[in-house]
Structure 1
């Protein structure tokens, strides 16, 4: 099973690495990082490099597509090469997925129109503007499309898919191997739980 994980300048690293750490442990998984051209891609801070093994055209028919997000997705959203690759790859993929604002990239390519999907809570209104049924759920499955909310939810999305593909026992084994047992010191991981003043401070200006 070939798993194509899209990279681009300014990507949020955990959006890509969370699904990689879960899905790459599936039996027969063949993950490959793809970008406009092979080579080093810098994350949103510019301080971390991820390496794209292949160009988009080198991976035309992956079984599973992962589109990570970023604080600014205008680059990949405005890229004809990315849009064309996503549309063509999606035509034959078994699963098409995203993490965080990666769903905006899928939406720009026209792949989520009329579907239920999620994204980072900052961008739910933007996602809805594409004709998507935007929801704040952590992981949303609509047919073969699986979208995850903000950053860390990509791990949940990966485990959800691992269960669908390999079965519960395989997914549970992966969860145990990566010791994914969240016990955060704070309960402020969503706008519904975080203190109101912090939510107001971090909410984008209208």
Structure 2
């Protein structure tokens, strides 16, 4: 499973690093997952919302991704004004239905602004429910799994919850997810909404 974590200027550091860490730990345990940090245009360095510099990044590649994890960041008003939603939409269109888009907290707002959530359920950080409701039916759940779009809205630990959910429920690595939960002292909890 090739999971690309999208990095961009203004990203919330924790939202990006937590899922990357969980997936990298799973890889070290022998799980068939390959996490990488990528940028839209191949920019090798970006700055997070607290000024943290991230380097050694590579260009995203829709043809070599099974999942694109899009973390939150920026002020919500900036999301619609940026090119990022249209770029994420183009990435999804190129990759097709096989690609899972996974949104960490306000990452779901990027999907909404891209027009990818019309008629579909999603969740986000609780304080952004009204904003997300412009584009979708908001589900008040920790995880919303709508097939090729999965969103998490549990606040600062949303990246942990999302990555652990993907490992356990979508990528058949339940034992690894449980072991990681025990090691980091964080149990998955809360409501999961999943289309049947």
TM-score by length of 2: 0.80
- Does the CA-based 8 Å contact 2:62-2:91 persist in structure 1? no
Secondary structure of the structure 2 residue equivalent to 1:166: coil
- Does the CA-based 8 Å contact 2:164-2:177 persist in structure 1? yes
- Does the CA-based 8 Å contact 2:98-2:148 persist in structure 1? no
Question: Is the radius of gyration larger for structure 1 or structure 2?
Answer: 1
Q: Distance in 2 between matches of 1:40 and 1:161?
A: 27
Q: How does 1:46-61 map to 2 (within 5 A)?
A: 46=51, 48-51=52-55, 53-56=57-60, 58-61=61-64
Q: Which residue of 1 aligns with 2:69?
A: 66
- The answer to whether the aligner puts 1:163 opposite 2:168 as a matched pair is yes
Q: Distance in 1 between matches of 2:44 and 2:20?
A: 18
> Residue by residue, what CA displacement relative to the aligned partner does 1:100-120 show, whole Å, maximum 9, x if unpaired?
110011122222221111111
Secondary structure of the structure 2 residue equivalent to 1:163: helix
In structure 2, the CA distance between the partners of 1:139 and 1:111, relative to structure 1 (3 Å rule), is same
Q: More deviation in 32-41 or 11-20?
A: 32-41
Unaligned runs of 5+ in 1: 183-206
- Does the CA-based 8 Å contact 1:86-1:109 persist in structure 2? no
Q: Distance in 2 between matches of 1:38 and 1:111?
A: 25
In structure 2, the CA distance between the partners of 1:23 and 1:161, relative to structure 1 (3 Å rule), is same
Indicate which of 133, 142, 151 corresponds to 2:137. Answer: 133
Indicate which of 149, 152, 158 corresponds to 1:153. Answer: 158
Unaligned runs of 5+ in 2: 189-196
Q: Could you tell me how far 1:2 is from its partner in structure 2?
A: 0.9
- The answer to whether the aligner puts 1:178 opposite 2:181 as a matched pair is no
Aligned residues: 178
> Residue by residue, what CA displacement relative to the aligned partner does 1:22-71 show, whole Å, maximum 9, x if unpaired?
2231412111111122311111122x122352123x44341111000014
Q: Could you tell me how far 1:9 is from its partner in structure 2?
A: 0.5
- Does the CA-based 8 Å contact 1:68-1:102 persist in structure 2? yes
Q: Distance in 2 between matches of 1:116 and 1:22?
A: 25
Q: Could you tell me how far 1:76 is from its partner in structure 2?
A: 7.6
Q: Could you tell me how far 1:170 is from its partner in structure 2?
A: 2.1
Q: Could you tell me how far 1:91 is from its partner in structure 2?
A: 3.5
> Residue by residue, what CA displacement relative to the aligned partner does 1:128-164 show, whole Å, maximum 9, x if unpaired?
111x111232211122321111231221111111111
Indicate which of 83, 100, 109 corresponds to 2:105. Answer: 100
Q: How does 1:179-198 map to 2 (within 5 A)?
A: 179-180=185-186
- Does the CA-based 8 Å contact 1:23-1:158 persist in structure 2? yes
